[in-house]
Amino acid sequence: MYPFLKGHGTENDFVLLPDPDGTVHGALSAERVRALCDRRAGIGGDGVLRVIRTAAVGEPGVGQDAEWFMDYRNADGSISEMCGNGVRVFGRHLAQQGLVDPATPVPVATRAGVKVLTFAGGAADGEITVDMGIAKVLEETAVRVGERQWSALHVDMGNPHAVAFVDDLADAGPLLDAPGHDPAVYPAGVNVEFVVRRAPGHVAMRVHERGSGETRSCGTGACAVMVATALADGAARDTAYRVDLPGGTLRITWTADDRILMTGPAVVVAEGATDL
Ligand SMILES: N[C@H](CCC[C@H](N)C(=O)O)C(=O)O
């Protein structure tokens, strides 16, 4: 048996695996990740967050400029560079375990670089703001669901996104299969977001995540949505956007120095042991 915890950020939920020195799970197989995320035969989750010291990772490009590394895996076992909701839950766990001090900014290493977390409350309460870094705005592309097609904007938040504005969030129907996309634009797959405007500075979205299917929320996706909307609106920098998702609300700002700040909740709901 080995320990796990369960947590979520706006109902994007994760299985956390404490593995500080990397000796519990070794390479952490895709098969184990799938078993853990299985909502019937396993614990259930949109992904796995392995909690490992950066010094124990040994992956190229994972710098030593943060003590902890978030080893993120999608529910299908695939690796992604970054998870916005996940990094807030990751930080909540570190603070609750007394492994970091929530009174000061907390750097977390990821495959998309170091993200710095700022806690509004203490270790166990209050929202968390993540400096998500610089958004890369790339080309116009398209996504297809069934017979429908929409133009979309390719935004890179460390992971790939296609943001499509729709008239009604139901237009995309039951997002059971991955929306079609141009493999030349997204050779490693893509997270697809459908957005409607609610009011100035206020949008609502649904998301089909690469490697996890439709989820209740996607932090990097909400950032990509905010960037696409702010560009379309011609919004000034430092304009705060409210992004409503099926699982909750995130607040996102594109700062004057071009960084994306995302603020939202993070909760650890359970802990246990498993031999999955
Ligand atoms: N499925 C995404 C990773 C998780 C992103 C999402 N859960 C978030 O909160 O950013 C991908 O393969 O790029």
Q: Is 90 exceeded by the pLDDT of residue 175?
A: no
Task: Report if pTM > 0.95.
Answer: yes
Residue 210 and residue 181 in contact, taking contact as beta carbons nearer than 8 Å:
no
Domains of the chain from N-terminus onward = 2-133+265-274 (3.10.310.10), 136-257 (3.10.310.10)
Which pLDDT score is estimated for 119? 98
How many angstroms separate the CA atoms of 91 and 255, rounded? Answer: 22
Q: Indicate if ligand 1 lies below 6 Å from the C-beta of 159.
A: yes
Per DSSP, the residues of 133-180 read EEPEEEEEEEEEETTEEEEEEEEESSSEEEEEE-S-GGGG----SPPE
Share of the chain above pLDDT 90, in %: 94
Q: Indicate if ligand 1 lies below 6 Å from the C-beta of 10.
A: no
Q: How far apart are the first and last CA of the chain?
A: 8
Which pLDDT score is estimated for 182? 95
How many angstroms separate the CA atoms of 145 and 28, rounded? Answer: 33
- Band of the pLDDT at 174, cuts 50, 70, 90? confident
Q: Which two tokens stand for residue 19?
A: 């593995």
Q: Which two tokens stand for residue 147?
A: 């017979």
Which pLDDT score is estimated for 262? 98
Q: Is 80 exceeded by the pLDDT of residue 63?
A: no
Distance 215 CA to ligand 1 centre (A): 10
Per DSSP, the residues of 167-184 read S-GGGG----SPPEE-TT
Residue 222 — φ and ψ, nearest 5°? -65, -35
- Average pLDDT on 247-269 reads 98
Which of ligand 1's atoms lies nearest the C-alpha of 222?
10
Beta pairing class for 191-199 and 160-165: parallel
Q: Which residue among 128, 220, 250 is best mutated to probe the pocket of ligand 1, counting the most ligand atoms within 8 A of its Cβ?
A: 220
- pLDDT averaged over every residue in the chain: 96
Whether the complex's predicted ipTM surpasses the cut of 0.85: yes
Q: What are the CB-based long-range contacts (under 8 Å, 24+) for 142-148?
A: 142/181, 142/182, 143/179, 143/180, 143/181, 143/192, 144/179, 144/180, 144/181, 145/172, 145/173, 145/175, 145/179, 145/180, 146/173, 148/172
Residue of 53, 59, 63, 60 whose CA lies nearest to 27: 59
How many angstroms separate the CA atoms of 94 and 53, rounded? Answer: 11
Distance 86 CA to ligand 1 centre (A): 8
DSSP 258: S
Q: Indicate if ligand 1 lies below 6 Å from the C-beta of 45.
A: no
Distance 79 CA to ligand 1 centre (A): 10
Which pLDDT score is estimated for 176? 85
